[in-house]
Amino acid sequence: MRTYECIYILNPALDEQTVKDKAVRYSEIVTSRQGLVQALDQWGKRRLAFPIKKQFEGYYTFMRFGGTNEILKELNRVFGFDETVLRHMIVVEEKPRPAELPRA
């Protein structure tokens, strides 16, 4: 099982609850296909570097997960059909992260 990182940007016109519901929905896609969501971090509304689909802001969400190629295909398909997704990117994490040491 490989580790992937996914960042997606949602339309800024969505309310907070809808953004949270979409994060849960995309996480369920990973877990329903025997994947494991390792981190889910909602960065909130931020200004875009350049306009995307006539939008100057967007809701950023970061998700790290482990899984197979089947999960990538399904996520890309779902992101493509969802009109509220402005952009998305999924990359393979080449080097595994070292285990975090407990802080003193």
**Tokens for 96?**
């595994």
Cβ atoms < 10 Å from Cβ of 53: 12
Does 3.30.70.60 match the CATH number of domain 2-57+69-86?
Answer: yes
Has residue 103 got a pLDDT over 70? no
Task: Quote the pTM value.
Answer: 0.84
**What's the rounded mean pLDDT across residues 34-40?**
93
Nearest to 63 by CA among 28, 32, 11, 94: 28
